[in-house]
Amino acid sequence: MDEARTGESGQLIDVVYGPGAVEGWDAAEKLGEPGGYPFTRGVYPSMYRGRPWTMRQYAGFGTAVESNARYKQLIANGTTGLSVAFDLPTQMGYDSDAVLAHGEVGKVGVAIDSIDDMRVLFGGIPLDRVSTSMTINAPAAVLLLLYQLVAEEQGVPAGRLTGTVQNDVLKEYIARGTYIFPPKPSLRLTADIFAYCGAEIPKWNTISISGYHMAEAGASPAQEIAFTLADGIEYVRTALAAGMDVDDFAPRLSFFFVARTTLLEEVAKFRAARRIWARVMREEFGAKNPKSLMLRFHTQTAGVQLTAQQPEVNLVRVAVQGLAAVLGGTQSLHTNSFDEAIALPTDRSARLALRSQQVLAYETDVTATVDPFAGSYAVEAMTDVVEEEITALIARVEELGGAVAAIERGFQKAEIEDSAYRIARETDSGERVVVGVNRFRLETEEPYEPLRVDPAIEAQQIERLAKLRAWRCGERVGDALTAVRRAAGGSGNVLYPMKEALAAGATVGEVCGTLREVWGTYVPGDTY
């Protein structure tokens, strides 16, 4: 008999699962029908038979010109939704000419300083015919408004816009690091975005409550789901406290998870997540609209599992990870490029990543029937076990006073760092095999030429900022920023004055700088 095997969440995995796993089990109660409470089997009745997942490849680098070209290429290659990656200065609310932006402009995503850049980013892309997800958090309102303004210039009314802003600041404090303001004003801004979209951009997904980044930081599947759903609970409470009705905003909440190569546990994880969220929304928040109970989510294949050694092997990893997401019922999927651990994708590696999804969608039969693992002894047992683990962790966060209180104590971060350290030790010892890294290595790696971002980009952006300051009316911008400052200090929805400012040519840095003046910046407590 071989030694014990544990899953990623620490649970034991049986050598063989049998009928005992589903004994005394009411399928109607545990699973429900696909598209019906508790949505274990999926959020829609026919899932991919009725509606394929969106193939949404995250992309962006350099200036808006390069990114616009890459988006058009992806659309030509068959992507069905856009996903914008912004550079770090933009994500942190700084302009390309800020001191802190030096060396960072255009490196991890596209540099957007103003409406001029946004217009170029979507030039020739009709915004009533694409759905766009923007990975932007602390400055999400700014980029959302710029998108709306560009759509207006194209003649597209806001009511026709579809897409998402990630807008999940709680996970930034926990795992991703692009926070600006402290929690309280950040949550106020989040609630303002919910309300603004409800009134002005009703088809927009206002938030993508994320666990992907926590998983990349080291979280186990149970931690990933638990801390994400706990964040979700905090956002729901925030919106309710701001006076919104749960069924008004909950249908537009969405989620974002990882897909690892440990396929069985991942499928179990997704099923458990849906079941738990449906129960929370119905029992704790009394939501009545079925759409309020649905955990709709985007998935990205796990970047952290990809290696710089023998990078072509990553194509295989991504295929398995993508399969896990599809078997788990994702609504939208990004598959990483094989050179992910080395640099941003080249045209070729980006195309291959997309092709991975197309093979899954068109050449396999996993889309032919809904939730094919339902009733599987192993997967149902795993779903139940991970559900227990997740529920217990959510309870711990609640005991600490909820997600924000727990964040301020560093709870989630400490738990995740413990997992990360354990994984590092297991990898060092070889207990955790990483093909090409600690086993099946090559004596000499083949050289790989990565994508390079042209360093001239920074100078180009700075020039564009000079052009912007030339055409805009400084006084109008100044007045608009004063209105933003006033709104931020009061209780009105800040997005309305922000839109005015951005239309007048205020930059991302100027708007965020104004908010920083009023709200301050977040100082974490994990230094030592």
* Helix, strand, coil percentages in the chain from 3-state DSSP, rounded to 5: 55, 10, 40
299-318: contacts with another protein (CB under 8 A): 304, 307-309
Residues paired with 83 in a beta bridge: 58, 133
d(CA 60, CA 106): 8
Nearer to another protein, 347 or 399 (CB): 347
Q: Give the interface segment with another protein, choosing from 151-159, 192-200, 419-427, 462-470 (CB under 8 A).
A: 419-427
Beta strands 81-85 and 131-135: pairing type?
parallel
Residue type, 194: F
Give ∠ CA 144-150-155 in degrees, rounded to 5: 125
**CB of residue 441 to another protein, shortest distance in Å:** 9
Kindly state whether residue 460 participates in binding another protein, applying the rule CB under 8 A.
Answer: no
Residue 526 binding another protein, by CB under 8 A:
yes
- Residue 182 interacts with another protein (CB under 8 A): yes or no: no
Q: Using the rule CB under 8 A, which residue among 437, 479, 485, 516 binds another protein?
A: 437
Does residue 102 touch another protein according to CB under 8 A? yes
* Shortest CB 107 distance to another protein, Å: 4
- Strands (E) located in 60-206: 81-85, 131-135, 162-165, 204-205
Provide, rounded to whole angstroms, the least separation between the CB of residue 348 and another protein.
17
The binding track of 200-229 with respect to another protein, each residue x by CB under 8 A or -, is ----------------xxx-----------
User: The tokens 């400084």 sit on which residue?
Assistant: 474
- Is 89 a residue that touches another protein (CB under 8 A)? yes
- CB nearer to another protein: pick between 149 and 451: 451
**Cβ-based nearer residue to another protein, 124 or 455:** 455
H/E run at residue 208: strand 207-210
Name which position in 55, 64, 88, 287 contacts another protein (CB under 8 A). Answer: 88
Output the CA torsion 206→212→218→221 (10° steps): 100
> How far is residue 168's CA from residue 102's CA, in Å, rounded to a whole number?
26
Burial of 490 (C-beta count, 10 Å sphere; 0-12/13-18/19+): exposed
From start to end of 74-175, where are the E strands? 81-85, 131-135, 162-165
- The residue among 264 and 437 lying less far from another protein, judged by its C-beta, is 437
Residue 376 and residue 383 in contact, taking contact as beta carbons nearer than 8 Å? no
- Between 500 and 510, name the residue whose CB sits nearer to another protein: 510
Looking only at residues 154 through 173 of this chain, which bind another protein when binding is defined by CB under 8 A?
A: 172
How many chain residues are in contact with another protein, going by CB under 8 A? Answer: 48
DSSP labels for 471-483? HS-HHHHHHHHHH
For residues 106 and 89, give the distance between their C-alpha atoms in angstroms, rounded to a whole number. Answer: 8
- Asked if 438 touches another protein (CB under 8 A), the answer is yes
107 vs 252 by CB, closer to another protein: 107
Give yes or no for a contact between 258 and 317, defined as CB atoms under 8 angstroms apart. Answer: no
Q: Which is nearer to another protein, 260 or 296 (by Cβ)?
A: 260
Which of 186, 197, 115, 18 minimizes the C-alpha distance to 480? 115
Name which position in 72, 359, 421, 469 contacts another protein (CB under 8 A). Answer: 421
Task: Kindly state whether residue 91 participates in binding another protein, applying the rule CB under 8 A.
Answer: yes
| Least distance between another protein and beta carbon 510 (Å) | 18
Q: Which residues sit opposite 210 in a β-bridge?
A: 256
Q: Which is nearer to another protein, 31 or 175 (CB)?
A: 175
In whole angstroms, the minimum distance from the beta carbon of 184 to another protein comes to: 20
Q: What are phi and psi of 376, to 5 degrees?
A: -70, 130
Handedness of CA 499, 504, 509, 512 (dihedral sign): negative
Shortest separation between residue 406's beta carbon and another protein, angstroms: 18
- State which residue, 48 or 94, has the beta carbon closest to another protein: 94
Q: Residue 6 or 527: which CB sits closer to another protein? A: 527
For residues 106-135, which are near another protein according to CB under 8 A? 107-108
**Position 342 contacts another protein (CB under 8 A):** yes
462 binds another protein (CB under 8 A): no
Q: Give min distance, CB of 444 to another protein, in A.
A: 12
The closest of 86, 333, 249 to 95, measured between CA atoms, is: 86
Residue numbers at the binding site for another protein (CB under 8 A): 88-89, 91-92, 94, 100-104, 107-108, 172, 176-179, 216-218, 304, 307-309, 341-344, 417, 420-421, 424-425, 427-428, 434, 436-438, 447-448, 450, 452-453, 524, 526-528
